[in-house]
Amino acid sequence: LVSRKEHTEDTVVKVGGEEVGNGHNMMIAGPCSVESEEQVREVAKSLKRMGVPFLRGGAFKPRTSPYDFQGLGEKGLKILRKVADEFGLKIVSEIVSPEHVSFATDYVDVIQIGARNMQNFELLKRVGTVSTPVLLKRGMSATIEEFMFAAEYIVSQGNRQVMLCERGIRTYEKATRNTLDISAVPILKQETHLPVIVDITHSTGRRDILLPIAKSALAAGADGIMVEVHPEPAVALSDAKQQINIPQFEQLTQALYDSGLLH
């Protein structure tokens, strides 16, 4: 069902009044984790200023260590909803458990399935039964074929509003947190009819190469990019090393508008 052979026309994912995959590239930005209402509001204000319609923020965090901040849970989703409504933004937030899907749809506009859950088949099947759009991230060790089958799990349950997100894969290279598989972008665009987003933050894990990476993703045919933004990255409760601050985010976004790749 996700194959171009089955469906030649591009799928346009509709999120309220926003569209993804209609030829106008978009951006998803926001903190790694929802930490407080004030934190989310500061970022949301900047998104509004820059014309970025999608606010991200994790409320359920799949952390490597069980002793690290696990997220605010439902309280975090409430904060996102409240602030997003103040600014007319759409929310993208990760859900990690099939049991949380039904209440999550009350709060979020797009359900994110994280890299660590790309092959959590019960979760995939569950999000396939709702009508809320889904952003499916590629597993860190998943092949493109496995990634496409994961999307098939969702679509085969009835939910066709799926976006694919390349977020880097594990290789021996240590200069970046993950290795951005840029070839995956045109391959996924060719093999599937679903919108493709590139997460420039988790794929690189570094702030100094975000602009060229964002440009290359959009030039390769991505329908949008995702970036992590925090008012004060140094004190962030997760991913403190890779998030950019608000002036850096505004500079990046402006440079992409100026390049004509984001519009």
Binding site for ligand PEP (CB under 6 A): 32, 58, 94, 114-116, 137, 167, 199, 202
Residue 80 is encoded by which pair of tokens? 């996102």
Q: Is 109 in the site for Mn ion (CB under 5 A)?
A: no
Whether the CB-CB separation of 93 and 128 falls below 8 Å is answered with no
Alpha helices in the chain, H assignment, sequence order: 37-50, 74-87, 101-104, 121-128, 144-155, 184-191, 200-204, 210-219, 246-259
Residue with the shortest CB distance to Mn ion:
32
Instruction: Give the nearer residue to ligand PEP in terms of CB position, either 21 or 58.
Output: 58
Whether the CB-CB separation of 246 and 43 falls below 8 Å is answered with yes
- Smallest distance, ligand PEP to C-beta of residue 258, A: 26
Residue with the shortest CB distance to ligand PEP:
114
Instruction: Give the nearer residue to Mn ion in terms of CB position, either 32 or 213.
Output: 32
- Enumerate residues 13-52 that contact Mn ion by CB under 5 A: 32
Rounded distance between C-alpha atoms, residue 50 and residue 89, angstroms:
12
Amino acid making up residue 172: Y
Instruction: Give the nearer residue to ligand PEP in terms of CB position, either 141 or 254.
Output: 141
Q: How far is CA 56 from CA 38, 81, 114, 182, 227, in A?
A: 15, 11, 13, 22, 9
Rounded distance between C-alpha atoms, residue 21 and residue 78, angstroms:
28
- Smallest distance, Mn ion to C-beta of residue 112, A: 11
Instruction: Give the nearer residue to Mn ion in terms of CB position, either 115 or 134.
Output: 115
Instruction: Give the nearer residue to ligand PEP in terms of CB position, either 130 or 142.
Output: 142
Q: How far is CA 238 from CA 40, 85, 232, 250, in A?
A: 14, 25, 12, 21
Only one of the segments 85-93, 189-197, 211-219, 239-247 lies at the binding site for Mn ion (rule: CB under 5 A); that segment is 239-247
Instruction: Give the nearer residue to Mn ion in terms of CB position, either 29 or 130.
Output: 29
Amino acid making up residue 263: H
Residue 129 is encoded by which pair of tokens? 């039964």
Residues 6 or more apart whose CB falls under 8 angstroms from that of 183 comprise none
Q: Which residues of 212-236 are buried (b: 16+ CB within 10 A; e: fewer)?
A: ebbbbbbebebbbbbbbbbbebeeb
Only one of the segments 12-20, 128-136, 161-169, 232-240 lies at the binding site for Mn ion (rule: CB under 5 A); that segment is 232-240
The residue from 100, 239, 249, 253 that contacts Mn ion (CB under 5 A) is 239
181 binds, among Mn ion, ligand PEP, none (CB under 5 to 8 A by kind): none
- Smallest distance, Mn ion to C-beta of residue 202, A: 6
167 binds, among ligand PEP, Mn ion, none (CB under 5 to 8 A by kind): ligand PEP
114 binds, among Mn ion, ligand PEP, none (CB under 5 to 8 A by kind): ligand PEP
Chain residues binding Mn ion by CB under 5 A are: 32, 239
